[in-house]
Structure 1
Amino acid sequence: METSELAHFSEVVGMIYEGATDPSRWTKDILPAVGEFLQAPISVMFNPLKMPQDGGLAFIHGMPQQQMDVYTTHYYKIDVHAQMAFAKGLVFEGNVILDTDILPQAQLRETDYYKEYLAPWDITYALNAIVFGVNSISEAPACVIANWRRSNGMPYSEGDRDKLKLLVPHLSRSLGVMQRIQSAELTAASTLAALDRLPMGVVLVDMHSEVTFANHSAHRMFEMGDGLRLRKLSDTAGLGRLIADSDAHSQAIHSAILATVNRDPYATEHFSKYVTVPQTSRLTCYTLQFSALGNHHEYNTGNNAPAAIIFIADGHQSEKVNPEILRGTYGLTNAEARVALVLMECATLQEVAGCMNTSIDTVRTHTKQIYAKLGVDTRARFVKLMMGLASSRTC
């Protein structure tokens, strides 16, 4: 991007993070800014598998509420864009889809969906992004941002696709924080006291990577000294730096924090991409998710304003599958059962290998056997089966 466009991008990204703690900003400020950046007069972000009448989110810019209501109560059932995107395998996390990826304009104009819904509202060109996919490992519900141009506008280009791709990780992080907070039934403008009530660890850091706040759950993790801790710096007023027992994992945490607080347009990863840190006393990992915070929020801790929030999940405290079920019912070996349990806590096979102190080739071999014995062929199906086994266990 050119300098002026990069400055515009940074302004939009800064606004996106305001939505993490103030959902009213999405409709009022954020989607209009995204629409302007993409030259899209209409921009809508919603849960495609959970309509607003069923509790799904729907933030709208440039579209009358009536138009959205008609879609969510009727026309979503004949939305050929959505149907064909699923059929073509285009609906995966982080993907950005041009309307022509799905079907040519000439074919679209022959459909009832176009004639009855799009044409009367003068919607012609579409650019959509999958912010969260189905069965996202971030545990966020499926979410799409749709950007439309009218018939007097230009078709979307590959350049437009690239611009939206850069926004998606930031959208995912802001929404991820918002939904984490809302899932705990906290107010949008959450206070530090409210963060203390969250069951997962929550850490706030400033622009210098200094921890300015850690909730009760995070403090308990640090006190255990089981892979994560705070290193106090003598010349600062904060709580210290978040580090791991190994230099490599400490560097991974530091790099993730720097990319987050700097809002790097090219290095920022999706909210579902987390850092894993092995626990030293057992075969599980901590998982850390990072997101920047907006310039205006309720997490004021004094002179050093927090610039980012980190969620820490303790794999040992997560609901587990009884390994006896995996061995007795599905015939997994002891080694395969151990890999299956760790695979639930890690995003990649490389991270599983790191947690288990073994080679990635060994993990890959075990994973192939695990999938075959469980009768699954994708990670999403594996996670769904394992979650079902965990929730159905008896004491």
Structure 2
Amino acid sequence: MRLSRYFLPTLKETPAEAQIVSHRLMLRAGLIRQQAAGIYSWLPLGFRVLERIARIVREEQDAAGCHEILMPTIQPAELWKESGRYDDYGKEMLRFRDRHDRELLYGPTNEEMVTDIFRAFVKSYRQLPVLLYHIQWKFRDEVRPRFGVMRGREFLMKDSYSFDLDQAGARRSYNKMFVAYLRTFARLGLKAIPMRAETGPIGGDLSHEFIILAETGESQVFVHRDLVERDILAEAVDYDSDLQPLVDSWTSLYAATDEKHDEAAFAAIPPEKRVAARGIEVGHIFYFGTKYSGPEAMNVTVQGPDGKPVHPEMGSYGIGVSRLVGAIIEASHDEAGIIWPESVAPFRVALLNLKVGDATTDALCADLYDRLRANGVEVLYDDREERAGVKFADADLIGLPWQVIVGPKGAAGGMVELKRRKGGERHELDRDAVLERLIG
């Protein structure tokens, strides 16, 4: 993509309303534009990141045995009244009536609707387990939206739901999601730590938050250092095997937010193993049994092995896809701008032509651009007639993993500069060496 033809409205000045790093950088780098309090348009560069995150989330859900559906954003109030949550959820739920005076709501979550779908089609234990998910926009009318996409009112979320015959099966589904979340966040370049959590309005008695450490985090966290340093991808995961030992090994080490913090238990950890820091929630999973399927709620039954009706056991599992864009920036940036992990970067390479109009420089840039794209490398080619300083600043601000810098002196000898955004290492290489480094 040529930057001269790309819609990338970067800002030199930081908007006054931006209070945290990710909000400032997302506005300045042209990823989003605020339309109302807590509501944003996603501009081309930001939307590419959003789509890459969603793709990784989707791949890991599929690998764990989930099936993707798509539920509507607007839900009938009757379902929530049936479950008993309509009045309990609070003012965060946006309620309204249509032209026929039917009560509707803009969905903040989908436990009721997915339970209604399940009961319409699943009648026997032989059809269990069922794991369904979707990636959908949601709305929660936060009393004080702030911090950009980190605490917005409208947000993109992956929510999945499990239905099992009994508690043992529900726990197996919970463990699958537990491990799938660890793998998902690792692929996104994040070190996510599972911590026991409150269940809140979702309900149930078993819940884990997944927290990444960041100085600007909303929560105080206390964690055993071994969890911070552990590499989940080094541990083979077969979703059809017993995952309980792996989950137990993670949860056996101390990890808690300030809500669940036990000072005595934390003090018992060797001093060199204690980590007290700030953290950002990037995922939350729940087991809640028959809270929605039971007779006191939506009264869902399937025929059990003995022919008698059984209320299926359920769990739900959320990842804030749009929130993750801000969380990744909070965890990966410097004074100059964003530093994208390669797995989610909107483009892999920024190609900087420092003297547009110079025949040799233009020819070398054109050749690099064509050959990289022909080999599947996504390139943002800065072919604007701007000063070199502007191009350097914008390249650092938007944070693509690699910068290929071509100036007239180097181009005359067939040489370019390759800069890695993370760490800032620079190497002067010839054309073929650069292509080998980026393609190979």
**TM-score normalised by structure 1 residue count:** 0.25
Would you tell me which structure has more helix in proportion to its own residues? 1
Q: Per residue, is there more strand in 1 or in 2?
A: 2
Higher Cα Rg: structure 1 or 2? 2
Which structure exhibits the higher relative contact order, with contacts defined as CA atoms closer than 8 Å and separated by 6 or more residues? 2
Q: TM-score, normalized by length of structure 2?
A: 0.23
